[in-house]
Chains A and B, each alone.
Chain A
Amino acid sequence: MQAPESRDDDWSELLKLVGAERDRAAFERLFHHFAPLIKGFHHSRSTQAFSAEAADELVQEVMFRVWRKAPSFDAGKASASTWIYTIMRNCRIDMLRRNSRRQHEDGGVDVADIWDESADNQPLLFLQHKRNERDIAEGLRALPAEQSHVLEKAYMEGKSHSEISAELGLPLGTVKSRVRLALKKLQAILSR
């Protein structure tokens, strides 16, 4: 089995091909890898945030945007999975907002203004960037279950800390401190 970092490098190479050459074969390989993960992120045994049908629709929309936006993918700023994560998050916010919105306008601001996918994040040095990705993945797997559980609820189910506290019957302070402890551990790993 290859190390996760080199796998993610492969996905980044494919994304660059899609962006620069509009390479459909490369895009199909990305689709076969990421589309089932996007669906699993929203609809799996542990996450039932979306129905299977809604998750399928989300996959269609996310992968469509991946194709459209691939020319702006910058491997120096984010790995393929992080970049696709941001597109997926924005897409989900868009869908939920569209469904809940009444007849009013948005004051001229849309999802991409608030969650800028091409965020002018400081590019990291290539090695630092690869190491960070790998360390975060390892760090996440090493978290105590109660901490990774609240992170999963926040990210995968889109729940706010107060919603998590209500659902798990835990005081809000406990949820917040679990999140903080988890982040502290990940930060400590990153600054090693």
Chain B
Amino acid sequence: MIRHHPDHNLLLEYAAGSLPWALSLVVAAHVQLCPQCRSQYQTMNRVGGSLLQDSEPQPLPEDALQRLMRRIATAEQGPDQEPVAAKSASTKNADPLFAKLPRVIRKLVDGNEPLKWKRVSPALRMSRLYTGQEQYEVAFHRIHSGGKVAEHDHRGREITLVLYGSFSDKDGVYGEGDFLVREPGEVHRPIATQDQECLCFSVVEAPVTITGPLGWLINPFLSFRPG
């Protein structure tokens, strides 16, 4: 059961289309997993529909409809340009961790180069994902069963969506579908559950820094690379 959700402000920015691309991506992935947020999102779209219906009508250029009908006529003669259905699920990842990704993340994995896992500490591996924006670093993080990630704080916002398994930190336990926001300055130390590996999708706004002594040696997030 999902216990941690994006707050209403984030969902509204997503529904209104004002949330940056990488953040929208992770909110969309949660919404695809979470019926509760899906219904909130639906309500927020209705708010948009009502605002549209109540807008102050503005006159259009006289030939607006003709122009559009010409374009439609031209398009109807040509080949059907509706986007082709997405490729069937890729077989790149037979790994059970990737068996039930939300649609949007599945698509992202299929559209990226094959994942390249980088060992960042004994317990943690990461693989970056390319999303065509330059504000945030987007990546999968994978923690071994029982693995501990170095204590770190966040200079920027970090959003994590748990996709498989679970982890805990001093504030709680996070399982599949849980959505968790760490604000700048918060310190935490995630630990994966003993009996299974944990896969997370994360979007990080700015570099995070290790707080402990020699932290830089094990800082899994030292090289921040947006994309």
Whole-angstrom CA separation of A140 from B44 in the bound complex: 12
Q: Contact string, B42-58, partner A, CB cutoff 8 A, digits 1/0?
A: 11111111111111111
Instruction: List B83-104 residues whose CB lies under 8 Å from chain A.
Output: 83, 103-104
Instruction: List A115-174 residues whose CB lies under 8 Å from chain B.
Output: 115-116, 119-122, 132-133, 136-137, 140-141, 151-152, 154-156, 158-161, 163
Whole-angstrom CA separation of A122 from B38 in the bound complex: 8
Task: Describe B's contact surface by its main secondary structure.
Answer: helix
Which of B15, B18, B25 lies at the interface centre, i.e. has the most chain A CB atoms within 10 A of its CB? Answer: B18
Q: How many A-B residue pairs lie within 8 Å, measured between CB atoms?
A: 200
Residues of B within 8 A of A179 (CB): 8-9, 12
Q: Closest approach, in angstroms, between the C-beta of B157 and any C-beta of chain A?
A: 11
Chain A residue total in the interface (Cβ 8 A): 80
Which of A34, A43, A113, A122 lies at the interface centre, i.e. has the most chain B CB atoms within 10 A of its CB? Answer: A113
Chain B residue total in the interface (Cβ 8 A): 60
Q: Are B49 and A104 in contact (CB under 8 A)?
A: no
Residues of B within 8 A of A63 (CB): 68
Question: Contacting chain A: which of B105-113, B147-155, B209-217?
Answer: B105-113
Residues of A within 8 A of B132 (CB): 101, 104-107, 109
Question: Given B25, B51, B52, which contacts A114 in the complex, CB threshold below 8 Å?
Answer: B25
Instruction: List A74-115 residues whose CB lies under 8 Å from chain B.
Output: 78-79, 81-86, 88-90, 92-93, 97, 101, 104-109, 112-115
Q: Contact string, B149-172, partner A, CB cutoff 8 A, digits 1/0?
A: 000000000000000000000000
Q: Closest approach, in angstroms, between the C-beta of B127 and any C-beta of chain A?
A: 13
Whole-angstrom CA separation of A64 from B49 in the bound complex: 18
Which 9 A-B residue pairings sit nearest by Cβ, starting from the closest? A108-B111, A82-B49, A36-B57, A106-B132, A40-B55, A85-B48, A81-B49, A39-B58, A89-B17
26 contacts between A and B (CB under 8 A): A34-B52, A36-B58, A36-B59, A37-B53, A39-B58, A46-B56, A63-B68, A64-B68, A64-B75, A79-B46, A81-B49, A85-B45, A89-B17, A90-B17, A104-B132, A105-B132, A109-B104, A109-B132, A119-B41, A122-B39, A140-B47, A141-B54, A154-B13, A160-B18, A163-B18, A183-B44
Interface residues of A (CB under 8 A from B): 4, 8, 24, 28, 31-32, 34-41, 43-46, 52, 55-56, 59-60, 63-64, 67-68, 78-79, 81-86, 88-90, 92-93, 97, 101, 104-109, 112-116, 119-122, 132-133, 136-137, 140-141, 151-152, 154-156, 158-161, 163, 176, 179-180, 183, 186-187, 190
Interface residues of B (CB under 8 A from A): 8-9, 12-21, 24-25, 28, 35, 38-39, 41-61, 64-65, 67-69, 71-72, 75, 82-83, 103-104, 107-108, 110-112, 129-132
